[in-house]
């Protein structure tokens, strides 16, 4: 009986962790999300969650995301919920979204629109030569060893990113079009919080071929 009771406690703890990740994923969608192209509703999600139909709740959120483009953190919580339930295929699919989403053309357009309101963006675009944007993902290890100012490193590492990398959009500028392997100029970098898509820091530094 003791062994059976321990197993039940472990299962209930696993359910609780899964429900938490599902609840967090739902919080990354709009308060009143548009129904997905193939279905999906918050009412159905909440009903599945209430009745502990956790895999169905997971599927409902995935359907909703198709019409309500969610941030990186949505997919991270989806991946963790699927992993908690032992759903190997779904976990791998959501992990792929975590990797490719911040570097997708759709996100590049979305983030450049946000960056375009920043004075440094207009400064970079006003220079005679401006190449980009180039998208990069920076994790804690990279931030620790990079050449960014220390106050910028502290700021980026202070973000509650739940293991998510910082998204960087960079533009390479010069006073004239650089010759191959002989150019130099300034790099304008914009760092985005992957959860909110807000610009949390910027940096302008020199580059040389």
207 pLDDT higher than 80: yes
The reported pLDDT for the residue numbered 8 is: 65
The reported pLDDT for the residue numbered 127 is: 96
Torsion angle in degrees (nearest 10) through CA of 134, 137, 140, 146: -20
Residue with tokens 């938490």: 20
Q: Are 20 and 80 in contact (CB under 8 A)?
A: no
Q: How confident is the model at residue 178 (pLDDT cuts 50, 70, 90)?
A: confident
1 pLDDT higher than 80: no
163 pLDDT higher than 70: no
The residue-averaged pLDDT of 138-166 equals 76
The residue-averaged pLDDT of 27-43 equals 87
The reported pLDDT for the residue numbered 54 is: 97
More confident residue, 74 or 101: 74
| Helix ranges (DSSP H) in the chain | 2-27, 42-50, 54-65, 72-84, 88-100, 105-115, 119-125, 140-145, 150-158
Q: Are 180 and 163 in contact (CB under 8 A)?
A: no
The residue-averaged pLDDT of 169-196 equals 88
160 pLDDT higher than 60: no
The residue-averaged pLDDT of 36-60 equals 93
Domains in the chain: boundaries: 2-101, 105-208
Can you state the angle between helices 72-84 and 88-100, rounded to 10 degrees?
A: 160
Q: Of 157, 158, 153, 167, whose CA–CA distance to 195 is shortest?
A: 167
The residue-averaged pLDDT of 167-173 equals 92
Q: What is the average pLDDT value for the chain, to the nearest integer?
A: 87
The reported pLDDT for the residue numbered 7 is: 63
CB atoms within 10 A of CB 13: 11
The residue-averaged pLDDT of 123-152 equals 86
The reported pLDDT for the residue numbered 204 is: 94
The reported pLDDT for the residue numbered 102 is: 67
The tens digit of pLDDT for each residue in 76-95 reads: 899 999 999 999 999 999 98
């Amino acid at each position: 009986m003791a062994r059976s009771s321990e197993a039940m406690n472990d299962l209930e703890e696993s359910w609780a962790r899964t429900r938490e990740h599902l609840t967090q994923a739902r919080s990354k969608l709009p308060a009143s999300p548009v129904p997905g192209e193939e279905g999906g509703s918050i009412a159905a999600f909440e009903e599945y969650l209430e009745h502990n139909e956790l895999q169905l709740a997971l599927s409902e959120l995935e359907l909703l995301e198709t019409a309500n483009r969610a941030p990186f953190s949505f997919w991270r919580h989806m991946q963790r919920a699927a992993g908690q339930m032992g759903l190997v295929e779904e976990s791998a699919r959501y992990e792929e979204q975590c990797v490719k989403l911040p570097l997708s053309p759709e996100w590049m357009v979305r983030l450049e629109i946000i960056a375009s309101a920043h004075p440094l963006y207009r400064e970079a675009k006003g220079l005679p030569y401006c190449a980009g944007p180039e998208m990069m993902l920076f994790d804690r290890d990279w931030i620790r060893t990079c050449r960014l100012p220390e106050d910028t490193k502290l700021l980026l590492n202070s973000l509650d990113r739940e293991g998510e990398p910082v998204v960087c959009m960079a533009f390479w500028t010069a006073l004239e079009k650089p010759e191959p392997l002989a150019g130099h100029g300034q790099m304008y970098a914009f760092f985005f919080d992957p959860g909110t898509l807000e610009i949390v820091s910027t940096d302008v530094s020199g580059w040389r071929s």
